Structure 1
């Protein structure tokens, strides 16, 4: 079956500001049904955070209490997100740019990432918190050329990151991203031999 509506990926360009969407054959890995925001990418490495996997049984209040930060009611209820399998003990705040520091990494339109204690304090205080935010623990990392190779072998597809896609409902993020790419039946791509053809 042809899938002509699926855009090809230009491997000559960096992926900063892109969401990469895990293909179904990555089941039983940390990236099963993952939507990952690429925050930095160059010849030496790539770095990203998964945006659609809330961690079960842990809240923002529990994490920040270990740093003597008091959380208000909204932060007490907010889930912590699994950002990736690397450095799971380290957290960062993914947020809209109504909060911004010198240390903030600007990733795309109204999307930034800040890994400071002040950012944690901000999300725990309603009058300082950005409009949209997520606390992510851990990240995804690739050595030079590794991400490109994974894309060549059809482990990931790519779409532009938007505020709605990054901060939208996590339960539907993977399905919605695939639908945007023209894939209505992910089961067609469940095997290693994906019908999506990518240029070398």
Structure 2
């Protein structure tokens, strides 16, 4: 079985028994992948006690819209104090926005937060604090060890609010029968 070489724009769905509680039942959008590194954002772990309004207030960003109750996600264990915004391609911050796929971008600057707080925000967006990162060959080894399934993204999995259902939804979209999914998988 040959693995895809570029997983940018794909979802990683944690297998039961992944062996790392930080990633138990996570769904991660891979934002960048190369032979040297990979990085992605967990899209199904809302943070407790912080919403986007809190972030905007702390950064003293002028607002034209109220963002109370807009979820901030726990994007991963790396650089947990740094913010990343996944958003549609209708807002681009010159020199700072990275294209993830044809319609999806990631930006990690104050400028994207100002756009979100303005009267003309991106059509869809979600903010995460921190990210998941892998060194050279690490993600490929984890895939070979059956720690992750790779799937296609959809807007509900990335931007939807039903965070507690995203892992199950991602698996069932792939046709995985959860009653037959085992935590220990072998290699043939």
Matched, 1:194 2:174: no
Residue of structure 2 aligned with 1:42, choices 10, 34, 41:
34
| Deviation by residue 1:50-92 (Cα, 9 ceiling, x = unmatched) | 1111111211111222211245554122011011000000001
Looking at structure 1, the residues matched to 182 and 63 of structure 2 have their Cα atoms a distance apart, in angstroms, of 43
* 124, 139, 145: which one aligns with 1:147: 139
Higher mean C-alpha deviation, range 99-108 or range 78-87: 99-108
Separation in structure 2 between the aligned mates of residue 188 and residue 93 of structure 1, nearest angstrom: 32
Q: Distance in 1 between matches of 2:58 and 2:103?
A: 29
The aligned residue for residue 119 of structure 1 is: 112
Answering whether residue 158 of structure 2 is matched by residue 185 of structure 1, we say: no
State which drifts further: 68-77 or 87-96: 68-77
Q: How much does 1:39 deviate?
A: 0.8
Tell me the secondary structure at the aligned position of residue 61 of structure 1: helix
Number of aligned residue pairs: give it. 186
Number of the residue aligned with 1:5: none
Q: What's the counterpart of residue 161 of structure 1?
A: 153
Query: How far did 1:171 drift?
Result: 2.4
Q: Is residue 11 of structure 1 aligned with residue 7 of structure 2?
A: no
Q: Is 2:74–2:128's contact at 8 Å kept on the other side of the alignment? A: yes
Q: TM-score, normalised by structure 2?
A: 0.90
Q: CA deviation at 1:162?
A: 2.8
Contact 2:10 2:150 in 1 (8 A): yes
Partner SS, residue 25 of structure 2 = coil
* 1:15-30 to 2 correspondences below 5 Å: 15-26=7-18, 29-30=21-22
Does structure 2 conserve the Cα–Cα contact (< 8 Å) formed by 1:110 and 1:163? no
- Where 1:112 maps in the other structure, the secondary structure is strand
Q: Give the Cα–Cα distance (whole angstroms) in 1 for the partners of residues 27 and 64 of structure 2.
A: 29
Instruction: Give RMSD over aligned pairs.
Output: 2.0
Structure 1: runs of 5 or more not aligned: 1-7
TM-score between the two structures when normalised by the length of structure 1: 0.85
Residue 3 (structure 1) aligns with: none
Unpaired runs of 5+ residues, structure 2, are: none
Is the Cα–Cα contact under 8 Å of residues 93 and 111 in structure 2 kept in the other structure? no
Question: What are the within-5 Å matches in structure 2 for residues 68-107 of structure 1?
Answer: 68-71=60-63, 74-102=66-94, 103-107=96-100
